[in-house]
Every structure is written in C-alpha cells, then in structure tokens.
Structure 1
Amino acid sequence: MTDKLSIIIVGAGIAGLSAAVSCALAGHSVIVLEGATELAEIGAGFQITPNATKILQRWGLEGEMKKTWAMPSSCTVHRYADGKALWHEANFAKNIQRKYEAPFVDMHRVDMQKILYDKAVELGAEVRLDHKIKEVRMNDEHGLPELEQMDGTVLSGDLVVGADGLWSRCRESMLGSKDQPLPTGDLAYRIVLTLDQIQDEELKQFVSNPTLHFWIGPKAHAVGYSMKSGTMYNLVLLVPDDLPPEVSRRPASIDEMKQLFEGWDPILTRLLGCVTTVDKWKLMHRAELESWTNKEKNFVLIGDSCHPMLPYLAQGANSSIEDGCVLGRVLSYVTRREQLPRAVELFEKLRKSRGEKVARETFLQRHDFHMEDGPEQQARDKIFDSQQGKEEAEVKFPSRWNCPEVQSWLYGYDAYQEVVKAVKQHPLS
C-alpha cells in the first residue's frame, strides 16, 4: 500500500464496529467516535443469519461467539389463538448450515458488540467514547471531509463513515437539512427473561433447549428465542403503534401488554406472566435516499443511518455487518488516495440496492404475519398446510424465514465474493 487512508467512523454500534474491523483488516488507519460514555447496545437479543455469520467467521470471531450463542434447532410458526403449528421445520439449524455453510445463531447484542469492539482494538482501531458530533462538512481548501464535535474540536480524514443509527447527524449533514425518521405504524415490546425469573418447569425446558418461535395473528405477532447459551429468553411483541408522535420509547404497562395478547397461545401468555418490567419502542423507518454518499465520494452512510428496517426479518444488524464488511473489502483494493472515489462508488453500487430491497421485504413480511382472520388469512394458511410434513418448504412461503425463494438470496449472500467479482468487473485503477 502506497497511501494508508485515514478513516473516521461515527458510531460504535454493530455497523460502526463492523466497518472498523473490516477497514482495519484492509490496512487503513481507523478512528471510531461514539457519543455514549460506555458501550451498551440498545435492545436485547438479535438473530445472526448466515449472510452475516460467514463474515464473522472470516474475521476469526466464531470462537468467542460460541461462548454465548444459542443455536435454534427448530423453527415453528404458530397460529395465535390456539398455538397450532402452521409450520414446523424440525431440523432448521442443520438445514441452514447445510445450505449456506454457515450457522444461524441467536445472541445478546451486548455480547456481539463487545466481540467486535475487542477485534477492532486488537487490529489497531482507536475507539473514542463520549465524543458527540455536531456536523460533517467539506473543507474546500484541503478537499477533505471534516467533522466538528460538540466540544468544538475538528477532525479531518480521507473518509468519514456515518454509522450513527436511526437518528443520524451524519445523514442530516449529508442532506444539509433536518430529516426525522418516519413511523411505520408498529411498535415493539422488548422483553428479556432469565431462567431465574421463570418458575414453570415446562417453560424452563422451553428456554434451555433453544428453538425459534413465531406467533402470528391479527395486526400483531410475537417472536421468541433463547440466547446466552440457553440461560436467557428474548421475546419481542410487535403491535400497532399507540405512542404519541414525539415519543420513541417509554416504559410500558405490563397489564396493557398482557391484554393485547389475551386469548393467544398459552405458552406465549405464560411467558408474558413472567415479565416484571417492559419498555415499548416505536418502530421507525426512513425514505430511501438518492445516494448514500456525497458528491466528492469521501463521506458515506451505512447501517440504520441509510437503510433502517422493520425487525421482521432480523436483518437490521445483519445488513449492517454486510455494509461494514463490503466497505472494508472494497477499500482493501485502494493503494493510492486517488482511487478512493471509485472505491466508494463501488461500495454504493454493491450495497444500496440490496439494503433497500431487504428493507422493503420486511414490510411484506409484516403483511403476511399480521393478517386479520378471513379469506386472505385462510388462503395463507392453506399454503402453510400444503407444506406440512416436508423437511423444508418447497414453494413461495408466507414465512420468509423458511421461504426457499427469499431465504436463498437473503442468506446465500457472500459479501467477500461479491466484492471480488465487482473489482474484477470494475477495477479501481
């Protein structure tokens, strides 16, 4: 490498730390600025699908992940009212591993964030906490992007990466205007249960033997899975949004939550009976941007700053890992600074259409999971019934987690190979 790029990443969430690891592996100098005083990913569990686990394996992180991950052996989609299994894939984990040569696992976000942080630091990236940014702008004299922090300090680098999430200041800087997230019409109750909170022996077994469950019903659904090696349960309830427009998160009433799921599958309602505290979160999205980069191609957005999505396919974090990986892989081919604009263009070409396609697919999954009882729901359930008893679904399927059509392009994506092919077709020099 003739020129080592100076890269400033804003945000130390999953997207920012993934970019830090990948860019450091590419041999560049990396600084990560994080506004929080300590690393603590918002949320609880998340599902890491093969499109991301194959990246994390390449980064040598599987050993650390195995210490706390839970691998769901089966996947079941239940009808809300009686818990009937509309679909049951008994060998879900084995089938995924066989098809995509990478596992599907469930982890706590904090564990994954810590693993990525440790790897980034090990590779030489510098992570600065309690560094809030005000704006990103171009320095016309030097032709470089510069970043002003809230304390007035100004930093500049060859490339600024905006990985500062849904409420992104980097996005506003790129657009040159205020840009508020848009409500999706849904909210999420996010629940974490430990085995100590569960007295019911049947439920304890349910948690300690990891499986993946969906309960789908009118205008709502729930998803539950184990994490922390089967010692903790993550449960998310997705329902219509009733929060005021200006409120994005607040403590929730347990009684109100239970009433929303009254009459649902007894396993689900018994789990809700163990809850002692819960918050509800407004689910937000963003309009698609014309571009994720500035015209100089030295300032780029990744993750939720440019493609936030409903959590209905568990792809928010997975897509962010893809973004970070592809950015670093493309930059690994940069040996001279004048190649940077071509590299950033190539990154956007590789990532924008896919990221936005996944985001749109999450809304389609909401439609299929939230049908009210009636003819459309009955037609959907006939598709489920048509596949009962089969090892895997063989037709276009209402659960995209098991749909052979969607699963293949979603989980089969190989970020490393996509970059190799793209650079061959579009050399940087």
Structure 2
Amino acid sequence: MVPEEARLRVVIVGAGLSGIATAISAALSGHSVEVIEQAKELAEVGAGLQITPNASRLLQYWKLPESLWEAAAEPTKLTVHRYSGKVLAHDDAFDKGIRAKYNAPFVDLHRVDLQQSLYKRAQDLGVTFHLGERIEKIDFETTTVHSVAGKCFEGDLIVAADGLWSKCREAFVGKKDEPLPTGDLAYRIVLTADQISDPDLKSLVENPECHFWIGPGAHAVGYSLRGGQMYNIVLLVPDNLPPGVSKQSGSVDEMKELFVGWDPILNKFLTYVETVDKWKLMHHGEMENWVNDKSNLVFIGDACHPMLPYLAQGANSSLEDGAVLGLLLGHMTNKTQLPSILRVYESLRKARGEAIVRETFKQRHDFHMQDGEEQEKRDQLFLSQLGKEIKGAFPSRWTCPEVQPWLYGYDAIKEVEKAVAQNPDVFAKAKASKSPRSYCTIL
C-alpha cells in the first residue's frame, strides 16, 4: 500500500478488460480509482476468450472468485488441421504441458464471465464505476475528463482504456484517429451443448479441446466454454464489409458457402448456426508515445496496441498492461515520481505490445497461405514434427518452442519487481509535492 502522500486519484476511461484490470491493480496498490464507461450497463455480450498463462496467473494473483474457474474450460488437446481436416500438428497433453512449463493454466472463458468477475472484484476493492457517461473532452491542464452529460471527473492520472475507437487517443493526437481495416473479418459463433444433437460433435463440446483449421485466405478455431456446456467458433475470412462499417448482421448461407470443401466436422457445426454477425478486424499504426508530455495521461490495451485475434493476445496483453501499470504505481512514495514511473511502464509494455501485434500478422500469413509451393513447404514442416517434440521455428505459434514461451512465460509481477530493482533512482523517496488545484467537483 502506498503512503497517503503518494495516493493518486486515478480516472480510468473504459470498463473493458484493460480498464477493469487496471482498476483492480491500482486499487490493490492503495490508490483511489474511478472508472467511466459509456455503456449504461456491463451487458452480457461477447463470445469466447482464450486466456493464456501470462494472464491466468494474474487472475489468480488478483484472487478472482472460484466461480470464474468453474466457468472455464481447460483444453486437454490442441490440434491444427489442414482445411480438409488432415491433422498437421497435435498436442495430446496440452493442458499438462502448459501447467508444467508455466505454472498457470490455459483456459477458455466466456468474455461475460471474465468481465463480471473482474467487475465484482474491483467493486469489492472500492473502485467507483460511472456507467452511461460518454466522454466529450479531456482537459490536460486540470487532468479532468468531461462527459457529454456535463459531468467532470478530476484526478491525478487519466488512464486511456477506451479501446479501438478511443476518444482519449483523439484528444492526445488532437484529431480524428480512426482505426484501419486489416483486410479480414470475423464471424463469431457460440453454440450450446443442448443445441447439438450429433453425438460426435457433442463429445467435442463436452470434452474441451482446441482445434484450428487453416486454409487459403482464411482459418477457423473452435473450443469449448463453461466447462463443456458451450462451443465457441471463430471464422476468420477476407473482409467484404462496406467501408466505415465495423459490424453487421451476416448471412448464414454466405458464411457456409465460404467453407464448402472444408473439414466435414467444421461444416457439421455450422449447420447448427441460426444467426451470425460479421466483425471487421481493425488495427492502428504504432503510437510514438503511450504517455503524454504532462504525464497525466497513459494508454493501455486496444487504445494503443489493438491486435488481430490470431494469437488470442488482445485480452491477455491488456490484462498484462493493467497489472504492470497498477503494480508500478504501488511502488510510489510520492506523487513527484509519477512521470518517471509512467516512463518505466511505457518501456516495459510498448515494445512487447507492438511486437505481439507484428507477430499476429505473421501468424495470419502462416495460417492463410494459398495452396501452392509455399503452403506445401509449410505443411512439410508441420508433418516433419508431428508426434515429436517440436524444435525451432514452427508455423503454429500456439505450440512453437520459440514464440510460446515468449508469450506465455511473461510474468508481469516479476517484470515489475525487476524494473523496480533496476531503477532505484525512480523509486527512491522523493520530495513532497503540492496537491493540484481543484477546478470542478469530483464525482
């Protein structure tokens, strides 16, 4: 817990996973935290998330309720298929191997279950939430966020956790900064076990595994949720949404047509789909800085490093961001340290976040190869390692012995401890600072 003279008023814009993770981490460090969210309620929307050990260890550290783990599905196997169904890679002890290597599990969760668990934990820690508040502007001179409804939220630090369409990012750069299309879109599907009558498919749902199907210009992933009571399918295909449209109701027939000739198992699952939405996959260029000149605004999550879902690291890296920021703020002894601490945060997180973004595009390349010579070489590499301990670079980063440890072995808690030890000047006791003048009522 920080001493009273170092206690910050932290204003977080956005109650997504990154925002609530930061709220929990900062509150555990002893700071006063309030979260502003434009949605009127944290509604039960969304689909599946793959929570890898770099993030699951944080959920354990934050002591999220046991009900979250009961709602998880831990895949015992991971298989990569050629789009025809042929097995290219297979790990039949995936869960055991992950726990042994990283001392934390790989679990599949419904986004709602994770968000609600984080929300409840944050509330228990005294975090205040202001729902239904759309941001109009930010006054960096007074560290104040103004809402469209005329309310103002003043603090010592504003955390931009407002995602891909970040208003904070616009305020920071001083102009519209809309995300760019990646050329892909996602069909997101959630089926319940009760919907599925086929006994073979039902067994796949009830006995959690993770399956990828990779093909020309597209791929699909399927995994269980809620202890084997639901099945999540994501279909990643070329984007045909109109410019400026980020989400639209999709045609089930059009979706099925894209996967004619693919694995019969995948197509059987698709016969149970009644309605589906299409989501344009977007990204941003790299930001020069994640902290403003006044050191009263800092970026986290999709607001600064949105990424393709091809390594399932969007949510996981956002949780890392929140953990690192909150833990670093827990080492404050005086408010004058804030600018230096934010620069340490940026140095710890910016390079990693942007490197993961680049790696997702590499995974798209390796999973979306058109049939031909390059694809045949890829498949030969896959098959040369099938049934063996994988060595060297591998087309599926999910089991690649070079990329997987870099992703899953990251321990935000230890990284912060290391950074504090390496930066004694930053974290030494500093002189007392005067409290900033208050320009509006803090709500």
Q: Normalising by the residue count of structure 2, what TM-score does the alignment of the two structures yield?
A: 0.94
Structure 2 match to 1:39? 42
Deviations 1:337-391 (A, max 9, x none): 111111111111110000000011000000000001111001001111111112x
Structure 2 match to 1:351? 349
Write the distance in 1 (CA, Å) between the matches of 2:14 and 2:44: 11
Deviations 1:271-291 (A, max 9, x none): 000000100000000000000
Equivalent residue for 1:280, pick from 261, 278, 281: 278
SS at structure 2 position matched to 1:73 = coil
SS at structure 1 position matched to 2:140 = strand
Deviation (angstroms), 1:395? 2.3
**Unmatched tracts of structure 2, length 5 or more:** 429-443
Is it true that 1:295 corresponds to 2:293 in the alignment? yes
State the one-letter code of the partner of 1:260: L
Equivalent residue for 2:184, pick from 175, 186, 202: 186
Q: How does 1:242-321 map to 2 (within 5 A)?
A: 242-321=240-319
Structure 2 match to 1:86? 88
SS at structure 2 position matched to 1:287 = coil
Deviation (angstroms), 1:65? 2.0
Structure 2 match to 1:130? 132
SS at structure 2 position matched to 1:393 = coil
Write the distance in 2 (CA, Å) between the matches of 1:275 and 1:103: 30
Write the distance in 2 (CA, Å) between the matches of 1:358 and 1:188: 19
Write the distance in 2 (CA, Å) between the matches of 1:123 and 1:177: 36
Whether the 8 Å contact between 1:192 and 1:234 is mirrored in structure 2 is yes
Structure 1 match to 2:215? 217
Structure 2 match to 1:26? 29
Structure 1 match to 2:324? 326
| TM-align CA RMSD | 0.9
Equivalent residue for 1:396, pick from 393, 397, 402: 393
Structure 2 match to 1:421? 418
Deviation (angstroms), 1:120? 0.5
Write the distance in 2 (CA, Å) between the matches of 1:36 and 1:223: 29
Structure 2 match to 1:110? 112
Write the distance in 1 (CA, Å) between the matches of 2:364 and 2:313: 14
Whether the 8 Å contact between 1:41 and 1:113 is mirrored in structure 2 is no
Deviation (angstroms), 1:424? 1.1
Deviations 1:218-252 (A, max 9, x none): 00000000001100000000000000011100000
Deviation (angstroms), 1:62? 6.2
Whether the 8 Å contact between 2:214 and 2:220 is mirrored in structure 1 is yes
Whether the 8 Å contact between 1:13 and 1:41 is mirrored in structure 2 is no
Write the distance in 1 (CA, Å) between the matches of 2:246 and 2:134: 20
Write the distance in 2 (CA, Å) between the matches of 1:356 and 1:299: 19
Write the distance in 2 (CA, Å) between the matches of 1:133 and 1:426: 36
Structure 1 match to 2:60? 57
Deviations 1:282-331 (A, max 9, x none): 00000000001100111011000000000000000000000000000000
Deviation (angstroms), 1:42? 4.9
State the one-letter code of the partner of 1:145: T
Deviates more, 1:57-66 or 1:214-223: 57-66
Write the distance in 1 (CA, Å) between the matches of 2:171 and 2:369: 39
Deviation (angstroms), 1:131? 1.2
Is it true that 1:409 corresponds to 2:412 in the alignment? no
Whether the 8 Å contact between 1:56 and 1:62 is mirrored in structure 2 is no
Write the distance in 2 (CA, Å) between the matches of 1:41 and 1:229: 18
Deviations 1:131-177 (A, max 9, x none): 111122212xxxx4111111122221000001011011011011111
Deviation (angstroms), 1:63? 2.1
Deviation (angstroms), 1:217? 0.1
Is it true that 1:162 corresponds to 2:160 in the alignment? yes
Is it true that 1:363 corresponds to 2:361 in the alignment? yes
SS at structure 2 position matched to 1:55 = helix
SS at structure 2 position matched to 1:65 = helix
SS at structure 2 position matched to 1:404 = coil
Whether the 8 Å contact between 2:140 and 2:296 is mirrored in structure 1 is no
Write the distance in 2 (CA, Å) between the matches of 1:389 and 1:362: 26
SS at structure 2 position matched to 1:86 = strand
* Percentage identity across paired residues of the two chains: 59
Q: Normalising by the residue count of structure 1, what TM-score does the alignment of the two structures yield?
A: 0.97
Deviation (angstroms), 1:426? 1.1
1:400 to 1:270, Cα distance in 2 relative to 1, 3 A? same
Write the distance in 1 (CA, Å) between the matches of 2:56 and 2:92: 21
Deviation (angstroms), 1:31? 0.1
Is it true that 1:16 corresponds to 2:19 in the alignment? yes
Deviation (angstroms), 1:41? 6.3
Equivalent residue for 2:148, pick from 147, 150, 154: 150
**Unmatched tracts of structure 1, length 5 or more:** none
Provide runs of 4+ in structure 1 moved above 3 Å.
none
Alignment length, in residue pairs? 423
SS at structure 2 position matched to 1:166 = coil
Whether the 8 Å contact between 2:65 and 2:117 is mirrored in structure 1 is no
1:397 to 1:41, Cα distance in 2 relative to 1, 3 A? farther
SS at structure 1 position matched to 2:185 = strand
State the one-letter code of the partner of 1:381: D
